[in-house]
Amino acid sequence: MEFRHLGRSGLKVSEITYGNWLTHASQVENEAAVACVHAALDAGISTFDTADVYANTAAETVLGTALKGQRRESLEILTKVYFPTGPKGHNDSGLSRKHVLESIDGSLRRLGTDHVDVYQAHRWDVSTPVEETMQAFADVVRAGKALYIGVSEWTADQLRRGHELAGELGFQLISNQPQYSALYRVVEPEVVPTSRELGISQIVFSPVAQGVLTGKYTPGGAPPEGSRATDEKGGKQMISRWMRDDVLSRVQELKSVARELELSMAQLAVAWVLQNDNVASAIIGASRPDQVRENVKASGVTIPAELLQRIDAVLGDV
Ligand code: NDP
């Protein structure tokens, strides 16, 4: 496993992060969830991503249980705040001082730790002044409950404003967590160049497009039993945007590229996001430990420029 710095901070994260959205306390039984976390640890993953909203807080609890007994200093634990997790009262979501300061304590309790390494704004909150949010984050850091602050799916302008305020308040905004894969490249024109300028890294989610880039879904074919595309608890709906024959047939064409590199399709997809030097880590999800063991082998892989061009040509503008 190789490690990269988050932004201009001294914090290093593993190139592959393990994340538990849609799996822990949902699609996957607890025993399999713990086995995936242990497979991740055995493979050298030190960085774990969750959110209070995943499985309505239960995913944090499962992750905390799975990590119990590990040396805390060897782990980077990331969680997020923004979405409502329980009663949808008027102060139960967003990035108000009240919601941020109340949410961090619940996350720490469920994760079984006295601090997270990166506390992330899960989205931008249009209804709270960003000055108030960043002051709340500064206070979370000052209280030692989070060591660093990150955000998720912020635009280039939002990152610039957050970075500016963090600087004034004496802490750094070190990461943004966007969706990024060979099938979804929205951050490339603006978010990535702005982040490079500001010293913010991307920790990217859905690098295998929720399973689509593994090539296991074929045009016209039935999805494999037990896969996310058959998960009625939420996965099926989340992956549906990619389950189109035109997408699935183009993905099949990438098999020759994977073969040339002696990689599996999943490894090719994860390695692809890591070719971007603004990406510090790819957050992989897994429903089985074998998937973790397979996908971590993408760390340290270089994809030659001519094969990157072939991938671009195959996927075009899907
Ligand atoms: P991926 O693109 O890695 O998809 C993971 C899923 O793909 C697995 O659960 C599995 O599903 C399938 N898969 C993975 N590897 C293989 C393989 N080798 N062979 C076959 N199937 C495979 O990422 P996710 O979409 O799960 O997101 C990862 C993490 O990113 C989340 O857990 C979360 O931490 C973070 N995230 C953050 C968001 C945000 O708003 N900030 C939003 C979404 C995710 P199956 O076996 O069921 O088919």
Closest Cα to atom 29 of ligand 1? 19
Instruction: Point out the ligand 1 atom lying closest to the alpha carbon of residue 224.
Output: 48
Q: Tens-of-pLDDT digits for all 318 residues of the chain?
A: 999 999 999 999 999 999 999 888 888 889 999 999 999 999 999 999 999 999 999 999 999 999 999 999 999 999 999 999 988 889 999 999 999 999 999 999 999 999 999 999 999 999 999 999 999 999 999 999 999 999 999 999 999 999 999 999 999 999 999 999 999 999 999 999 999 999 999 999 999 999 999 999 999 999 999 999 999 988 999 999 999 999 999 999 999 999 999 999 999 999 999 999 999 999 999 999 999 999 999 999 999 999 999 999 999 878
Pocket probe mutation, ligand 1, options 76, 203, 283, 294, max atoms within 8 Å of Cβ: 283
Task: Please report the atom of ligand 1 found closest to the CA of residue 212.
Answer: 7
- C-alpha of residue 199 to centroid of ligand 1, in Å: 27
Alpha-carbon gap, residue 64 to 48, rounded angstroms: 10
Q: What is the pLDDT of residue 48?
A: 98
Q: What is the DSSP string of the chain?
A: --EEESTTSS-EEESEEEE-TTTBTTTB-HHHHHHHHHHHHHTT--EEE--TTGGGGHHHHHHHHHHTTS-GGG-EEEEEE-S--SS--TTSSSS-HHHHHHHHHHHHHHHT-S-EEEEEESS--TTS-HHHHHHHHHHHHHTTSEEEEEESS--HHHHHHHHHHHHHHT--EEEE--B-BTTB-TTTTTHHHHHHHHT-EEEEE-TTGGGGGGT-S-TTSPPPTTSGGG-TTTHHHHHGGG--HHHHHHHHTTHHHHHHTT--HHHHHHHHHHTSTTEEEEEE--SSHHHHHHHGGGTT----HHHHHHHHHHHTT-
Cα 73 to middle of ligand 1, angstroms: 26
CA–centroid distance, 286 to ligand 1, in Å, is 6
pLDDT value, residue 285? 96
**For position 89, what pLDDT does the model report?**
87
Say what the pLDDT of residue 25 is.
84
Q: What is the pLDDT of residue 246?
A: 93
Is 284's C-beta closer than 6 angstroms to any atom of ligand 1?
yes
Distance from C-alpha of 318 to C-alpha of 311, rounded to nearest angstrom: 12
Ligand 1 atom index nearest CA of 177: 41
Question: How much is the ipTM here?
Answer: 0.99
Q: Looking at beta carbons, which pairs linking 244-247 to residues 24 or more positions away fall under 8 Å?
A: 245/219, 245/220, 246/219, 246/318, 247/183, 247/212, 247/318
Cα of 39 vs centre of ligand 1, distance in Å, is: 15
Does ligand 1 lie within 6 Å of residue 287's CB atom?
A: yes
Residue 102 has what pLDDT?
96
As a whole number of angstroms, the distance between CA 276 and CA 282 comes to 11
Active site residue 54: yes
One-letter-per-residue 3-state SS of 123-148 = CCCCCCCHHHHHHHHHHHHHCCCEEE
> Which residue of 206, 279, 292 sits with most ligand 1 atoms within 8 Å of its CB, as the best mutation to test the pocket?
206
Pocket test for ligand 1, best of 210, 242, 293, 297 (most atoms within 8 A of CB): 210
User: Whose C-alpha lies nearest to ligand 1, atom 5?
Assistant: 285
- Cα 124 to averaged position of ligand 1 atoms, centre (Å): 23
User: So what's the pLDDT on residue 28?
Assistant: 86
What pLDDT was estimated at residue 279? 98
Cβ 178 under 6 angstroms from ligand 1: no
Query: Nearest residue CA, atom 7 of ligand 1?
Result: 211
Domains of the chain: 3-211+276-287 (3.20.20.100)
Q: Are 93 and 60 in contact (CB under 8 A)?
A: no
